[in-house]
Structure 1
Amino acid sequence: MTDPARSCILTRERAARDHLVRLALAPDGQVLPDVRAKAPGRGAWIGVTRAELEQALAKGKLRGALARAFKTGEFTLSPDLGALIAAALERNALDRLGLEARSGTLLTGTDKIVTAARSGQVAALYHAADASDDGCRKLAQAWRVGSDREGSDLKGLALPVDRPILSLALGRENVVHIALTDRAAAKRVSDALDRWLHFIGPESSPAPCDTASQGASAPRSGGEPEAVTTHEEFE
């Protein structure tokens, strides 16, 4: 089923709702992120980066757009809304990784990932922000060999969180590298990461290991990637 499109209240550009972030009006009048689009009542959708959102907030454009979407001016906008959205998107992405870990579609540990990669079982590859260059290169090479893509620039994506945060999210010790072995799982993770990384912007997404996104994020146009190669209610 095609994901229904929504319009960003600031740019008026349309995109699949899974590529946007919903803002909802809480019972106490606060505007809060609803990244899982489950909160009741009126909502408004945004597809801008954090920098763009904070600029619109400072200039009053966000308030005007929300007033039109909510059909009321009776709400409170926190000056920290950008930080709240970023935190909610990060939590959503890490929760998604945790779910895949519990379902058995996620591998950690260099040796296990190398073995899976060389046998063509890896669909997506991610690294902690503080992963070593050597470790990233070793896994990237194994992935290229197993994917019959030697000589290409196929490599994993460095996430903007360090190993203690990844370890906590997955309930495992010392998580430095992550591989997904199921294409559907890789797509689910990619979608969650795409929204988060798009919102925080490239300046907030460190890329050690010489890692670069190679389709890890689903295209913003909503197109299907050739392969997933990496990239609530009121919060």
Structure 2
Amino acid sequence: MPSTEAPADDLPPDILDAGIGRGRAQAERTCLVTRESRNPSGLIRFALGPDGTVVPDLKARLPGRGAWVTATRAAVAEAVRRRLFQRAFKAKHAVAGPDLADVIETALRHDLRQALALANKAGCVVTGFTKVESAVESRAGVAALVHASDASQDGRRKLAQTLRRRYGDAISGIPVVDDMSSEELDMALGRDHVIHAALVAGAGTAGLLARWRRLRAFRGVAAMPGEVGPAPSGADAALPDNSPGGCDGVCDRPPEGR
């Protein structure tokens, strides 16, 4: 079967740009791998460091001209394999390590923990099984559930049942975040033995969910609302939600009614 890859030497002459806020307003960016133009929210910018290392610029703020790649592990791995960064930066000795995708995922996980810490400081996080259950059953309801990735299935099941009693068919509008271990939750929230938590409507919730969806999209896992169970192993608060079934930035408001 003939290859569908575009010739690497045919990179557009303007493939690099100066980053968000330093170029054309609202401009789309072109992915090195697919050559498709799209909103920067669905891409990751890369800059070239002083030592010739290709550096992921998740906030698109690093100086100099940068290259953009679709924000998935597969696309980043393909860019490394085809040496597209070297061609884009016109630097044969630019270093894009084989672990570049792992470096990005680690950074996205760090961003997610930071977002949870900020949401907690804003009073948007409830912890403890009993308190989470009460929050779900309250009139205000919750914007999302958070389970430690190592939480027991029994606890997940009981809270899922509580969600279904509270929301009925509208349960599909409640995201379930389960991509952080109990150790990571402890670190983010500054307390011990956090297994279950709930997000309530507030200033920090939309930003956390945007970062969560960005991490899941990078992994190639659709962040579907209402998802219950362990996550498959395998951004700024203004980041829009481009994931399938997403909430377009309004998931900090729980569905109305029972």
Measured after TM superposition, the shift of residue 71 of structure 1 is: 5.4
Q: 1:183 deviation in Å?
A: 5.4
Question: SS state of the match for residue 146, structure 2?
Answer: strand
Cα distance in 1 for residues equivalent to 2:157 and 2:103 = 34
Q: Identical aligned pairs, as a percentage?
A: 35
Q: Kindly tell me the number of residue pairs found equivalent between the two proteins.
A: 217
Label 1:34 to 1:56 Cα distance change in 2 as closer, same or farther (>3 A): closer
- 2:155 aligned with 1:135, yes or no? yes
Partner of 1:57: 80
Distance change (3 Å), C-alpha of 1:87 and 1:113: same
- Displacement of 1:96 in angstroms is 0.8
- Provide closer, same or farther for how the CA distance between residues 31 and 56 of structure 1 changes in structure 2, counting only shifts above 3 A: closer
Alpha-carbon spacing, 1:53–1:155, altered in 2? closer, same or farther (3 Å):
same
Equivalent residue for 2:48, pick from 25, 33, 36: 25
Are the counterparts in 2 of residues 9 and 44 from structure 1 also a CA contact under 8 Å?
yes
Is the alpha carbon distance of 1:43 and 1:165 closer, same or farther for their aligned partners in structure 2, counting shifts above 3 Å?
same
| Contact kept in structure 2, 1:156 and 1:229, CA below 8 Å | no
Structure with larger RCO (C-alpha < 8 A, sep 6+): 1
SS at match of 2:61: coil
Unaligned runs of 5+ in 1: 231-235
Deviates more, 1:16-25 or 1:220-229: 220-229
- Give yes or no for the alignment of 1:78 onto 2:97: yes
Partner of 1:161: 180
Give the deviation of 1:218 after TM superposition. 2.6
Q: TM-score, normalised by structure 1?
A: 0.76
- Deviations along 1:92-115, one digit per CA (max 9) or x if unpaired, are 111111111112111111111111
Checking the alignment, whether the CA contact within 8 Å between 1:24 and 1:43 is kept in structure 2 is yes
Deviation at 1:73, TM superposition (A): 4.6
**Structure 2 SS opposite 1:11:** coil
Gap regions ≥5 residues in structure 2: 1-24, 233-239
Q: What CA distance in whole angstroms lies between the structure 2 residues aligned with 1:81 and 1:40?
A: 20
Equivalent AA in structure 1 for residue 66 of structure 2: G
Asked if 1:89 corresponds to 2:108, the answer is: yes
Q: Does 1:180 align with 2:199?
A: yes
Deviation at 1:7, TM superposition (A): 3.0
Distance 1:112 1:191 in 2: 24
Task: Verify the 8 A CA contact 1:126 1:157 in the aligned structure 2.
Answer: yes
Which amino acid in 2 is paired with 1:224? Answer: D
Q: Deviations over 1:139-160 (max 9, x none)?
A: 22323333x3258556652523
Aligned equivalents of 1:49, 1:178: Cα separation in 2: 28
My pick for the range that moved more, 6-15 or 30-39, is 6-15
2:69 alignment counterpart: 46
The 3 A distance-change label for structure 1 pair 13 and 166 is farther
The TM-score normalised by the length of structure 2 is 0.70
Q: Is the 8 A contact 1:219 1:225 kept in 2?
A: no
- Structure 1 residues 147-204: Cα deviation after superposition (integer angstroms, max 9, x where no partner): x32585566525233211221122121111221111553321111111111112349x
| Structure label with greater radius of gyration | 2
Separation in 1, partners of 2:228, 2:38? 32
Tell me, yes or no, if structure 1 residue 224 matches structure 2 residue 248.
yes
- Structure 2 letter corresponding to 1:165: E
Q: Comparing 187-196 with 35-44, which one deviates more in the overlay?
A: 35-44
Counterpart of 2:3?
none
State the match for 1:233 in structure 2: none
Distance (whole Å) between structure 2 residues aligned to residue 225 and residue 176 of structure 1: 26
